[in-house]
Copies of this chain bind each other. A is one copy, B any other.
Amino acid sequence: MAYNELYQYSVVSALMEGLGDFGLPYKDLVSHGDHGLGTFRRMDGEMIALDGQVYQMKADGSIIKVDTTGGSDIAPFAQLTRFQASATADVEFKDKQGFSDALSKLLPKTKNHFVAFRVDGLFKVVAVRTAGGQFCRHENIRELHKRQTTYEFTNVRGSIIGFRSPDFLQGVGVAGDHLHFISDERDRGGHVLEVTTLEGSPVKLSAAVQSKVHLEFPEDEDYKEVNLKVDADRIRIVEG
C-alpha cells in the first residue's frame, strides 16, 4: 500500500455493540500498514502497531508481541497506515486537549480529514486503560469497560500512535483524537486517557493527513444483523 492511505477494518459502532468474536487475522492486517491501533478477539487488550511490530497490551499489564506471520489472532476493529510524516514539531503539552491543540497547529484545517500521528519522547505522565476482554459473547462495551484496568506511568519514555477522525464520521472512527501508548522498553502501555510532557523537555510530534481511506466491512452474520446507531456520547466516554 502507498504511504499515508488509511486502512480500517469494521467500524467503532460495531465494537460498541460488543461484536468481538470475528475480525481480520493479524497476518492479513499487517499488509495494510506499519502504524496503527485496534483491539483483539473479545476485546482482550489494546493493540498498537509501530515500526512494523504489533503489540497486544493486556489488562494484567503484560505486553505480548503479536505473531503476524501465521498466528490465529484477529482484529475485530483496527486502523492501520503506512506512515510517513508530512510535518514534525517539538512540542510540549499539559493534557490531551493540549496535544490536540499542538496537532491542529502542526496540521491546520484537518477537521474534515483523517490524520495519522506519532509522538516520541519522555513523558511526565501517561495514564492508560486496557480493556480486560469480554466475559460473554456480545458483552456490551459499556459493561466491559467497567472492568477496565488503569495504569499511570510517570517519567516514561515511549511512543504514542494514533489517529484523528472527523466529527461527521463519529461511529465509523472515534471522532477527534484516539491515542495508544507503548513504552520504549515495550513493557508498559494502553489506550491513553491522559498525557503530560515535562516542562522544558519537548517530545517529537509527527503527523500526516490520510485523504484516501479504505474501509472494509465485515461479512459475518453478527455484523449483518446488528443495529448500528451512532451513540456519540457513549463513544466519547469509552474511546475518547
Contacts and interface: CB of A to CB of B under 8 A. Distances in A.
Nearest to A171: B168
Interface in A186-224: 209, 211-219, 221, 223-224
Contacts of A111: 224
A159 interface: no
Contacts of A167: 228
A207 to B, nearest CB: 15
Contact of A214 (B109, B172, B214): B214
Interface residues of A, number: 33
Contacts of A61: none
Interface of A: 11, 13-14, 109-114, 166-169, 171-172, 209, 211-219, 221, 223-226, 228-230
26 contacts: A11-B168, A14-B112, A110-B224, A111-B224, A112-B217, A112-B223, A112-B224, A112-B226, A113-B217, A113-B224, A166-B228, A167-B228, A168-B171, A168-B230, A169-B172, A211-B216, A211-B217, A211-B218, A211-B219, A212-B214, A212-B216, A212-B217, A213-B215, A213-B216, A213-B217, A215-B215
